[in-house]
Amino acid sequence: MKRFKIFLGLSIVVLMSISAKAYMQQRPLYEIHSMLLYNFIKYIEWPASDKTGDFVIGVIGDENVYNALNKWYGSKNKGEQKIVIKKFEGALDVTKCHVVYISSKKSSEFDLVKNIASGQHILIVTDKAGLGKKGSNINFKMVNGKLKFELNKSTTEKAQLKVSSQLEKMAIIL
């Protein structure tokens, strides 16, 4: 198990260090986002109260991310929980979930999602410059042509989510 975790950690490091432009010639960005979303949940621990029922990942504004997540990970488990992928049309559709991904084209929904998620254990992942500092837990960011991600430790701690040190080492800490 320890070797598997090391392998998985190294896989993410390699993926994050590859030039996004070169990698996107092989895979579209929505596929990379989908893979990273799935890998993030492996390195984050939710409170015990959220470890029953289905593990729900919601997607706002990107049909391709939704479809890829559903196809690749919709039949998998996170621990004892079955992973369920839900498509939300907007912030007002957000129901009980563990993760919500907001695409750049729906970033105007961020403030409302943040208010809805307040006091809950929801990981908010975004793809728009500035949203990491504004309160997203994880925000994708291009840096010198490479895909990186910001981790807002303050908002993640407020949501009572525990991020592994391995994930922190790969992130741009805010």
Helix or strand (DSSP H, E) at 134: helix 131-134
Alpha carbon distance 114, 123 (integer Å): 10
- pLDDT > 50? residue 164: yes
Any idea what the Cα angle at residue 59 is, between residues 25 and 134, rounded to 5°?
A: 90
Band (pLDDT 50/70/90 cuts) for residue 18 is very low
Q: Which two tokens stand for residue 9?
A: 């950690």
The encoded tokens of residue 174 equal 């805010």
Q: Is the pLDDT of residue 23 over 60?
A: no
Express each pLDDT in 39-90 by its tens digit.
999 999 999 999 999 999 999 999 999 999 999 999 999 999 999 999 999 9
pTM for this one?
0.86
* Rounded average pLDDT over 121-144: 96
- 19 has pLDDT over 50: no
Pairwise CA distance, residues 145 & 142, whole Å: 6
**Res. 17 pLDDT band, cuts 50 70 90:** very low
